[in-house]
Amino acid sequence: MKKTLAILTASVTAIMICASTARAESLWSDKKGSLFSDFRAHKKGDILTVLVMESASSTQSATTDSSRDSANSVGPGTGFLFKNLPGMAYGGTSTSKGAGSTNRTSNLSTSLAVTVTDVLDNGNLVIQGERDLQTNEETQHLLLTGSVRPVDIGPNNTISSTMIADAKIKLTGQGPVGSRQKEGIFSRVLRLLF
C-alpha cells in the first residue's frame, strides 16, 4: 500500500509539474471579444478599407456644316444726277465646315484604409483617408472622402468605392515624370496668341 501511495504521489507531482510548465494554446481568445461581435467600422475613429476600382470613359464628337449665298442688284437711280449712274450688282457666298472629337479613358485600382471622421444622424459614416507614395523621386498623393452606409460594409470591413456617396477621389503626382507631362511656357504663349 505504501508502494502504491508513493507511486500515486509521484504521478500527481509529475502531472502538476507538467501542468505548470506546459500550456496549450486555446482557439478562444478574450482579446477578440464576443463570438457575436461585429468588427465592421461603425463609430468615429474606426478604420475601414476602401477597394478603389474606378473606371471612366467618355467620347464626344461634333460636326458643323453651314453655308450662305446672297445676291443683290441696284438699278440706275432717278433724277438728273442719279439717272446716268449705271446699275450694279453684288453677291457673296459664305461656307463653314468643322469637325472635332475627343476620347478619354482613365482607370484607378488600389485599396486604401480610411478613418471614420463622423457619424451622421441617419447612421451613415463620413470617411476620409489619404496616402503618399514616393518612388524614384516621384510622389503620388491619393485623397478619398465621402460617406457610406454601414449596411454596405462587408463582413471583412471593406467597401467598394462605387458604394461611396459624394465620393471625391483625387490622385496627384509630382516629380520628373509629372513635370514632363505639363505644357511648356513657350507652347502656352503660342496657344494663347493663335
Q: What string of DSSP letters covers 170-187?
A: EEEEESHHHHHTSPPHHH
pLDDT surpasses 70 at 121: yes
Q: Cell numbers of 177, please?
A: 515624370
Q: What is the pLDDT of residue 174?
A: 77
Tell me what the pLDDT averaged over the chain comes to: 77
Whether the pTM exceeds 0.85: the reply is: no
Instruction: Give the pLDDT band of residue 112 (cuts 50, 70, 90).
Output: very high
Distance separating alpha carbons of residues 150 and 123, to the nearest angstrom: 7
| Each residue's pLDDT tens digit, 3-35 | 665 565 656 565 665 555 545 555 555 555 555
**Per-residue pLDDT, 79:** 58
Q: Which residues contact 166 (CB under 8 A, 6 or more apart)?
A: 145, 146, 147
Residue-wise pLDDT for 31-89, tens only, equals 555 555 667 888 899 999 999 988 888 888 888 888 877 776 666 666 566 666 666 66
Say which DSSP state 121 is in: T
Report pLDDT digits (tens) over 142-160. Answer: 999 999 999 999 989 999 9
Q: Given this model, what pLDDT does residue 147 score?
A: 96
3-state secondary structure of 155: coil
Contact 147, 125 (CB under 8 A): yes
CB proximity list for 153: less than 8 A, separation 6 or greater: 40, 41, 48, 159
CB atoms within 10 A of CB 38: 12
